[in-house]
Amino acid sequence: MLFNDILSVNIRPQGAELTSIFHKPSGTEHLWQGDPAVWGWHAPNLFPVVGGCLNNQIWVDGQAYPMGRHGFTRQSVFALAEQTESMARFVLTDSEETRASYPYRFVFEIVYTLEGATLAVTYRVRNTDDRPVFFSVGAHPAFNVPFGANEDLTDYWLEFAYTEPLQTHLLSPEGYFTGQTEPIEQIDNRIPLTKHLFDKDALVIKSLRSRAVQIRSKNHDRAVTVRFDQFPYLGIWAKPGAPFVCIEPWLGCADSVGEPVPFPQKEAIQQVGVGEVFEATFTVTIG
């Protein structure tokens, strides 16, 4: 557990996944508690892919490897390498099991740092292979909406840092991009939350000037702010009708309908050189 006078944060070893972000002054749990009857996760970390891969496979050096949606790390058990009251560092190292689906040698670290009302989440990918390592990485935190009793989902909206036209890239029933887009209904820099907003699956935004999104209500001034300066893609999703919304900073995305491409050529793929370390951070601020 990480804690200070404002927040207490819980993380579990499976997936190094956040399980609680509790705001002490208001007595509010802001993270979805993973009701398995609705959606059994809290805030999975996505690696080494984001979204679905065609035929549930990736192709590396001409060979197909099995790869499920959002990768394998949400099911993996991380080692807690370091912890204080304000910081926890979790580590996953490649193994025979990981190399059966992802043939690279790596160390994947997730570092949580608490300062005041802000939780920073840092992803580090260390290349321990003798060749470049290709990967995608992303976050999938689900935040409770509404924040408290006597409110409704429709009292809330997502507020972007800038007023800008937004469009979503449509997904097939299997979760692959179709090449089609649709404008997202907005009021200035706000997307109103409705029970039918996600009837066609996630909103996936690939072109975005804003680098911060807030969950806000007409009933009070409290907000959840997700800031993602280093993440060019953004997913927004909820199971239709569920009392949460996921704000998902991504460095990577699903495949498109058609023929598979070699893993290093995947859209938005990241690369880290031999002996090098990749790092990217997003933050969640409550208040």
Kindly state the percentage of the chain with pLDDT values over 70.
100
Nearest-angstrom CA–CA distance, 283 and 53: 27
| Per-residue model confidence as pLDDT tens digits over 70-93 | 999 999 999 999 999 999 999 999
| Per-residue model confidence as pLDDT tens digits over 227-239 | 999 999 999 999 9
Res. 247 pLDDT band, cuts 50 70 90: very high
pLDDT at residue 128 above 90? yes
Distances (CA, A) of 240 to 77, 180, 194, 199: 30, 21, 9, 6
Nearest-angstrom CA–CA distance, 141 and 264: 27
Is there a cis peptide before residue 249, judged by omega within 30 degrees of 0?
A: no
Distances (CA, A) of 104 to 75, 128, 134, 267, 274: 18, 8, 8, 19, 11
pLDDT at 86: 98
The distance from CA 23 to its chain's CA centroid, rounded to whole angstroms, is 21
pLDDT at 246: 98
- Let me know how long the chain is: 287
Residue reference for tokens 């997904």:
171
List the beta bridge partners of residue 101. none
Determine contact, residues 190/235, Cβ cutoff 8 Å.
no
Determine contact, residues 135/48, Cβ cutoff 8 Å.
yes
Half-sphere exposure of 7 (CA within 13 A, CB side): 25
Nearest-angstrom CA–CA distance, 212 and 164: 13
Nearest-angstrom CA–CA distance, 17 and 34: 11
| pTM given for the model | 0.97
Using only the alpha carbons of the chain, give its radius of gyration: 19
Give the phi and the psi of residue 270 in degrees, each rounded to 5.
Answer: -105, 160
Nearest-angstrom CA–CA distance, 285 and 287: 7
- Report the run of H or E that residue 193 belongs to, with start and end: none
Residue reference for tokens 């989440």:
121
pLDDT at residue 241 above 90? no
Neighbours of 238 (CB within 10 A): 22
Sign of the Cα pseudo-torsion (119, 204, 164, 192, in order) = negative
